[in-house]
Amino acid sequence: MTKKDIVMKIAEETGIKQVDVKKVVQGTLDRIVAALSDGETVELRNFGVFKVKSRRSRIGRNPKTGTTVPIPERKVVSFKVGMVMKKKVR
């Protein structure tokens, strides 16, 4: 399912114009990204929690040449599923 599919489905179910639904959906996604880039945790009840975590630096290996390569520390987004979604997806 794509963002366009979500917008079309919501517009169909609510009777709101697709253009307006798209603005709301995009605005919501933009707010989530902005909060995560500021280091905040985004908690959507019954859906899940988005959180930024740091991955420590480590030594990796180039599979082509076999040489060791240092991999620097970086931040990644993690998602923990909420209870309602967990029960419905099973």
Q: Where are the domains of the chain?
A: 3-57+71-89
Looking at CATH, the fold of the domain delimited by 3-57+71-89 is given as HU Protein; Chain A (4.10.520)
Query: Does the pLDDT at position 90 exceed 90?
Result: no
CA neighbours within 13 Å on the CB side: how many for 68?
A: 3
Chain centre distance of CA 64:
31
pLDDT value of position 6: 96
Q: Would you say the pTM of this structure is higher than 0.85?
A: no
CA neighbours within 13 Å on the CB side: how many for 74?
A: 7
Mean pLDDT in residue range 19-38: 96
pLDDT value of position 62: 92
